[in-house]
Structure 1
Amino acid sequence: MDTTVADTLIGTTIDGRYRITGRVARGGMATVYTATDQRLERTVALKIIHPSQATNVHFVDRFTDEAKTIARLTHPNVVAVYDQGRHQGLPYLVMEYVHGRTLRDVLTQRRRLSPSEACAILEQMLAAIAAAHRAGLVHRDVKPENVLVAEAPSGGSGNLVDAVVKVADFGLARAVEASSVDDSGQLMATVAYVAPELVTDGHADARTDVYSAGIVLYEMLTGRVPFDGDDPVEVAWQHVDNDVPPPSAIVKGVPKALDDLVARATRRDPGARPTDAGALLGEVQSVRDDLGAANVETALLRQVPQSRPGAPGAPGAADATAMMSAVTDRPSWAKLPEQARAAQTYRRGDARLSGGPRFDRRRILLSSAVALMVLVVLGSTWYVTLGRYTEAPSMINMTKVQAELYARQNNFEIFYGDGAYNETVPKDSVISQDPAPKGRIVNGGRLNLVLSLGPERFQVPDLNGIELAAAKAELEQNGLKVKQGTAQYDDIVPEGSVLSTDPAKGTELKRGDTVTLVVSKGRAPISVPDLVGKNINDARNQLQGLGLTAVERYKDSDQPADTVIAQTPKSGSGAAKDAEVTLDVSKGPPLVTVPDLNNQACQQAQATLQGMNLRVRVEGFNQNGFVRQQNPGANTQVAPQTEVVIACF
């Protein structure tokens, strides 16, 4: 989660109550912040949509429906919504703040989970979705991005069995009887997790969520989704045409019970799946209880004979306690009520409900193992406190490839945190590590690295035609400063909307750079008249009468001299008082140079003059003779159609 990037909304108080303290994440349509509810003195999450979505009526309605939908669900595994409102015209929701990360983040870091961890997370997911199903709702977008994994109260970050899971983003939820296609006719689900019936006929019910939950279980066990590809439509139809393969085909050692569970949840025929999330939850709990008991017995039988004081990997008292708790896996604070009661009965040794003699045998075996392990701890104190530690290497400025190679060569594990922008460290190079260089680390332990995302850059968005307030908000959310330039009249862009930006759209800027917005004043008050074809004197007088200024440009033209042949701006355009109107004015037809006709045959001279758009008058005694005189004289420039007199003898 991105909690360190600065944001201009940070420090702002919304509706006099919610003071924004940090940014959690920015999605394609909304941004989530942490905020302090100053009235109740608690930390909350505040989700506010992007300015670009403010004009999308369908999206805004769906955003508002999310609050109403979740308000119908009261369940510890559902992210609660506390309030809703608007800030600067942008709708927002105030929600429960979950201190943790998404299941997608966990899978990105871990790739895949152990069977016990996958079942523990799936149980709480299904508990939340089952509450929705009981309320007559279908989530319709079950995927790792919508599952939040919070830290256990004990603070342990390595054991996901004890984590608290919350299901979020019921913004796509619909009543069971409602359509599963949005108003634009688009399928509303993520294709990697979409049920076949949503692809074929757009129908969704509780069994649709069961299918998606089965895909999530498959991904937690294998680190991948069953169907993938570049074309979303092709991926969606793979769900229709193919059965989901067993997870053990990808990851060896996945128990057959989990293969069977995935198969039942992801059957292509909805009627062959568990009827709803509650039914699937019961199956998961049954499978998990069997796996947990089997794992405890196997682990003890393998470790007890091999344990010796001081041996690396020898179990200690804490390991024994963990194994004992693995019979039920979950602590009491994270169990559903049915689980808590069953575990309590199990601990009392109730043979009728917990398996009778088999439980007594396990209890004896566990008690014996604990006694032995206490002795092991005494012999391994040195190794636990000092011998297993070494000095953390410095991996700062290493590339990702170099860091991974070094880790393999020196038997370290590497985990990556969220990347961070950096102006100097190249992308995909290490900018920080935990433990720090020369700090203490377990031999073969875990190094947490943060990679550089390279220089942070923001593209100037296309804001033309967007209202000024929304344009400012979008730029500020991208970390850019806003300056308002001189407003201008425009015949097309409405008053108060952005006319242009400087720099232009698409330009990449650093955080804190300034974008100047030129805003439209709307159409100018004076309408420019049609002046083409008028005499320049008449056109000039008409413009002066309207309070406009004529700018004249004379050009060659076939039109009569002093005739307006073009104008800018065009007629009908708006113009402000004293604005200039440029008029192109004809200089009249170009002059013709009279040729030297002396001594030419009279008839030839007539043809020459007529070809030059001049009129001819012949005088003399012999019109078939030769030209002896002409008027105008040779090389004289005259207007077209001027009469030229020739005397022929």
Structure 2
Amino acid sequence: MQEHVSDPFVGTLVDNRYTVQSRLARGGMSTVYLAVDQRLERDVALKVLHPHLAADENFLGRLGREAKAAARLSHPHVVGVLDQGHDGHTAYLVMEYIKGHTLRDVLNSKGALPPRLALALVDPVVEGLAAAHTAGFIHRDVKPENVLIADDGRIKIGDFGLARAVTTSTSSGTLMGTVAYVPPEIVLGRTADARSDVYSVGIMLFEMLTGQQPFKGDVPIQVAYQHVNGTVGPPSALVPGLAGELDELVQWCTANDPENRPVDANALLQELRHIRTNLTDSELDLHPPAAAGTAVSAAPDARETAPVQEAGFRNHTEFIARTSNPTTVMPSGRPAPPAHGPALGREFLQPDRGAARGSHILTPPGEDVEEPWAPPAPQLSKRAQRKAGKEDEKARARAAATPVRSLREGSARRRGVLWVVVLVLAALLATGAGWFFGMGPGAAATIPAVANRTVAEAQQLLTEAGFRSTTRDVFDDDVPSGLVVGSEPEAGTEIRKFQPVSLYVSKGPQLFPLPQLSGGTLDDAKGALNGAGMALGPVTEEFNEDVPAGIVLSQDPVAGTPARHGTPVAMVVSKGPEPIPVPSVVGQDEDDAMDAIEAAGLKAEVAREEVFDRNVPEGAVVSQSPASGTLTRGGTVTLTISKGPRMVEVPSFIGRQANEARRALEALGFQVRVNNVLGGFFGTVRDQDPVDTEVPEGSVITLTVV
């Protein structure tokens, strides 16, 4: 279910690849968004780490290694890790997007589940953990919130590697994981292993069967204290009629001592499936009563207990008594306490010697343990009574067929010899166990640092420390080929010597062929580089007469060259044909003008018609088109050639007034010069030069005026 909130991160593009669509959830370490992988066009779950984690370089390095390791874990019931990266101040993980809901949503809506449904939901979780444990991975944060149920019914467990990365990057005193499901050894700061995941599964199965968690408190430290010092009671204390096999399974998984739990999820899976196949339909389909959801009783047979008060702890678990409905203890040879006496105050957990291991009853201090009172059985129908009667008859028949006494008692001497043999075998077993866990393969040892060493050197170090190792080839951008990248478990981890250690050997950086960029546009080239995981290198431009502007001319390295992700690729991009300035040839002779234009790389053409021009001599260029600016190579410049000035006949103005003669001559395109004789008193033209002849337009006509 998507969480519709206002988030500034929504709508952004992360690492030029992931478009954030909406926020799905927010936790203590990260915020999860629904995003679209633009490269592969698919929905993904984008887990963006909180800024205080993204700023920790050591944590980011650790997270990267954990993400690579988790990405190698491929199983139908494990959420796949697809990518990991760092974009500016944003550190992120990309995981498979499971459209659906979580096991927490199921528990919130349904409460306690029938055993058949609870076992069906937890089975794929344990199967996914079993595959992880076989591959050497530990989850460290198993809880209903990390169990994803797809709309099509697929069940997967997610967040592999993240809890471990955070635990490694924080101080040793920091308790990671949800406190309701945290194993006692993690609370005590000890090394977690596969049995730690088994403990969390047991707590989760308890909650699925009963509708509530076994330990509660006002603050997390109270719950953590109960994990270390308390004992998980049987689920049947809250759900009467629950099969005893389920009680045993839950209490086996949640034993305080890891040595008393299943060795890993594979062992748990076998027992889980064995129980599912052996329980009857009535046991599997038992519907929890509506009251299931009150506080867990420490006594398996008690039907009413005081609610647990977690507001304080001492060296033992305490319960605060209440004045009504106290736990009732049947008398044994002593008068019963008053029915309405004062409250007993604090009552202490005492082991029930007659009950199964791990069961408790509430007893006042100083009193002996008595059998707990059980309420009267509910009234059965006649059909149920007949069925119960038949079962009683069968039980009596089996009891009658079972001998209560052995026909051969055996001599006391024989029994003594047997006891000696048993004690000798026990001593040998104890000695062997002491050697095995003290000096042998079961002894604890610390994994040495093997990073950046050759395989032979790393294996020698592990052998000297008592470990056996296997190798796995991995790509690594930083460690040279042939050297060890690291180990799983990592250096400094304390494990048993018989546990396997995997060495990750570098194959060098993973190389990918560079795409073909030449011949396409620059935008197409950028998209191809992004799709191939490569970086954009320097981009230079140059003129090219044959390739249009914006087209990639060449790339370096060339297409097909093997390169690691992130390799920068330089490109040369065409600016198109080089522009050529148009030379000015107006006034030059036609031949000279054409030579000048062709020398510039342009083509000269002469206009079909010539024009008269009084200022430009015949055969010279009057005008050109274009007159200035630039053209590409081979561009055409059109030249207009002058025919020289036009020839105009000069009429005679002798005897006429000078002003009239001037106006008429200037109208014909001549220039007029006036020479006054005796001051030109009369203003009459006495002489004209030239006169009655053709002269070039613009010629000077001289008038002599008296």
Specify if TM > 0.5: no
Structure 1 or 2: larger helix share?
Answer: 1
| Shorter-chain TM band | 0.3 to 0.5
Question: Which of the pair has more CA radius of gyration?
Answer: 2
